[in-house]
Chain A
Amino acid sequence: MKKGLIVTLIIVLVVSLFSGCSSSLATDNGKRAILVVSFGTSYNDSRALTIEATENRIKDEFPDYDIFRAFTSQIIIDKLKNRDNLDINNVLQAMEQLKKDKYSEVYIQPLHVINGEEYNDLLNQANNYKDSFNTLRIGKPLLSSTEDYQKAIDALKDKFSNLEKNEAVVFMGHGTPHIANAQYSELSYMLHDEGYSNVFVGTVEGYPTIDNVISRLNEKNIEKVTLMPFMLVAGDHANNDMAGDESDSWKTILKKDGFEVTTYIHGLGEVKGIQDLYVEHLRNLIDGLYEPEENK
């Protein structure tokens, strides 16, 4: 009889404890967080000008939220830990931390450029935490709607508004085997439709390649080319694959074909108009203007 009473009490206690836990996570306690997610970079100087600058913009624009950082590249995270003793969370670690700290509203803003593999992984990882927060919303990468392309072009147009007939700007995008690689062609198409017919987009790891770009340059009798990265950060690809004194950098390849080449080594994250676009995406997200993202 006595034993039965004790067992009953224990069961009641355990059940109430568990129910207490789950209700505390879902409670709207007013704690609000923004998680800014980027691929990351080991280039400290460029990181300060791009990722940190964008994060700081978000801090300024959303003063009522706690702002956190996560990188998606574990290689970069490990490198920064080993090299600089810098602790940066990956997405799962960041979500666990937000859950532990009992945030009730969480908004994730990716600083990715296209809706590719990295973004899909982010969606998959973050959506596992849907039930851990009262509100969990995941924002969109830079180029996610037709208007985004137009706004990104507007943000960058001072770099290519006054090109002579024989001058071109060639953007170096990253490129991916993911279907979203087509976004680079969409960007190129829209640039031309907006009247910037001497602006071309190539990729390091996808289509169009630099050889495809050179064909377009030759078709238009282009003689002078300015190379710019279409990447958030001016890291390894911009410094070496694009502008490096290396036998297979884009600069060298173009010069060997007789083009006059100048390089502009600045990441998109440095451009105020691009930061504005990320901020706008985040504001729309918080205001509930986006449909919830499902796993893709």
Chain B
Amino acid sequence: MKNMSLKTLFTIGLIAILTLFVLRSPIENLIKNTEKLDTHKYAIDFIDDSGHRIKMDKPATKIISLYSAHTENLFAIDAGKNILGIGRADAYPMEVFNLTRYDYRADPEKILAANPDLVLIRPFIERKTPDFVNSLRRSGINVVSLYPTKFSDFDDYILKLGMISGKEKYAQKKLNEFHEKIEEFKKFNSRFKDHPGVYFESSETGYTTVTSDSMPASAIKIAGGNFIANDAEPIEGSSIASYGIEKILQKANDIDIFISQRGVMGAGGNIHSITIRPGFKGIKAVKDNKVFEISQKIISSPTFRFLKGIHEVSRIIHPDYFDNLSNMISQNNTTNRDLAKLVVKYKHKVYFVPTSSYFRKEYNGHTYGKFDDLEFSDPDFDFIETAVSSGYMDTNKIDGIEYFYPEKEITKEEFAKSLYLISDLRKQTIHKEIKDSNDCKNLKIIQIIVDNNIMKLENGKFNPKDNISMKDAIQTLNKLKNTAKQ
């Protein structure tokens, strides 16, 4: 009797477990429907990009942002002070370096211990580490997943960030400014009649590009280019689109400009690797040396720095206008600031934008953003950082602190050195005598510059410590350009 009872109990238990297993789906639906029946009015109530309904009575004040674009945008809409922590790859703005870092590939306990009232993710994180995200949700933390795959979704995305951080008005104001600038770009670029064909490489793996409604393709169109891969097939749920080597080579003659995004995992190839690919020498852009690298952070990432991306694509597409040095001619002496702009424009060098891995190394020379006398808001910040990071200009370090001295007038010797660094000038066999050679610290470089007739001697002297006017500097750069063509 006792045995029978145990057997019955076991059978009942087994049936109960099986029933629960079979009915788990309807039970889950019931729970979901119960959620839908929730009649409480929430101040914040929307469906996020992973399909979850977000319900909050008030904006979050302790946010952990696990995607760098979210972090950057929160700072941009004045919600930076609400950020409690950030992800591993965040590197902008510089304030992020004072914040605690969290990793979605690690134990969620670290995040739970920080007690945030909101964790911001993107659908990629949910797909990659569902257990991590579910465990946050189960702990009662608001997890919001956002990512605009289309450029047209950008406003909605920013407004949602504004809503959950209590900065909706500021977000709208920033968006208004953003669109005003885009309209200016459109209006400005509409004056150009040529619309060169532009191919955009999103990843070198499988030669993928982007969809025609993505941020990079939009930047190309706003900048006046003809986005070549309009027929690319989108990879579901992303702005990445497959293209393949055959299709690229089929359009070899139509690709006037080849742009590769760099700086992230799975990005496009660098200029050298693109040019050594089998068959790529037949691409017009490769033949014409019109292969460019651009940071993913300013061209694909959904942030307000996208305006810089449009600016840079505009420079790539219309160099004769955007990098036209004659617009800068004046009788003033050339300053360090002027020189930075001159050399970056001369080289058509796209803005240098560091990633988080850049900051993991130590640099003997300059480190991005470390000039004590240069603000991020400086209108020429990107030109200066690009010129120095590319090694075209020297910097000054005193007691470990870096100075750029933007308004300091440069000497002829400093100018000559930068000329040499941006050029491929060859040493000549016949040398001109430089009477004041003892005054030249960089005599080898000055000799090459003088022997190539790039800069002239005055009564046999180079006068290395003299300043140089903008007019003379630009004339000299034009001479350098003509020499390079020969």
Answer yes or no: are A and B bound together in one complex.
yes
Hey, which bits of chain A sit against chain B, CB under 8 A? 43-46, 49, 79, 82-84, 166, 223-224, 234, 239, 243, 245-249, 252, 255-260, 262, 265
Q: Which of B258-281 contact A (CB under 8 A)?
A: 265-266, 269-270, 272-274, 276-277
Instruction: Determine the chain B residues whose CB is within 8 A of the CB of A166 once the complex forms.
Output: 427
Within 8 A of A (CB), among B301-336: none
Contact call B448/A260, Cβ cutoff below 8 A: yes
Question: B140 contacts the other chain (Cβ, under 8 Å)?
Answer: no
Residues of A within 8 A of B445 (CB): 258
Looking across the interface, which residue of chain B has its beta carbon closest to that of A47?
A: B273
Most chain B CB within a 10 A radius of its CB, from A45, A49, A234, A247: A247
* Given A44-B205, A223-B427, A260-B426, also A252-B273 (CB < 8 A): no
Contacts of B269 in A (CB 8 A): 44-45
Q: Is the interface of B mostly helix, strand, loop or mixed?
A: loop
- Number of B interface residues at 8 Å Cβ cutoff, please give it: 34
Which B residues have a C-beta under 8 Å from some C-beta of A? 204-205, 265-266, 269-270, 272-274, 276-277, 349, 363-366, 388-392, 394, 417, 420-421, 424-427, 442-445, 448
Nearest Cβ on chain B to A83's Cβ, whole angstroms: 4
Partner pick for A255 among B273, B363, B365, B421, CB 8 A cutoff: B421
**Cβ-defined contact, B272 with A239, below 8 A:** yes
Instruction: Using CB atoms, name the residue of chain B closest to A79.
Output: B265
Residues of A within 8 A of B273 (CB): 43-46, 239
The answer to whether A256 touches B389 (Cβ under 8 A) is: no
Residue of B273, B421, B442, B444 with most chain A CB atoms under a 10 A cut-off = B273
Given A45-B276, A258-B420, 7 more pairs with CB closer than 8 A? A46-B273, A49-B276, A247-B366, A248-B365, A248-B391, A257-B444, A258-B445
Residues in A whose Cβ lies below 8 Å from that of B424:
262
**What B residues does A257 contact at CB under 8 A?**
444
Across-interface contacts of B427 in A (CB, < 8 A) = 166, 223-224, 260
Which of A45, A46, A82, A246 lies in contact with B390, CB distance below 8 A?
A: A246
In the complex, what residues of A have CB within 8 A of residue B349's CB?
A: 245
Cα distance, A258 to B423, chains bound together (Å):
12
Whether A82 and B265, one on each chain, are in contact in the complex, defined by CB atoms closer than 8 angstroms, is yes
Contacts of A256 in B (CB 8 A): 391, 394, 417, 421
Q: A-B pairs with the 9 shortest C-beta distances?
A: A258-B444, A252-B391, A45-B273, A247-B391, A84-B205, A83-B266, A247-B365, A245-B390, A258-B445
Q: Which of A45, A243, A260 has the most CB of B within 10 A?
A: A45
Report the separation of the CA atoms of residues A82 and B273 in the bound assembly, to the nearest whole angstrom: 21
Asked if B265 and A246 make an inter-chain contact with CB atoms under 8 angstroms apart, the answer reads no
Contact check, A265 vs B442: say whether CB atoms are below 8 A apart. Answer: no
Verify B265–A83 contact, CB threshold 8 A. Answer: yes
> If the complex has contacts A245-B349, A247-B388, A265-B272, are A45 and B444 also in contact, measured as CB distance less than 8 A?
no
Q: Which residues of A contact B389 (CB under 8 A)?
A: 246-247
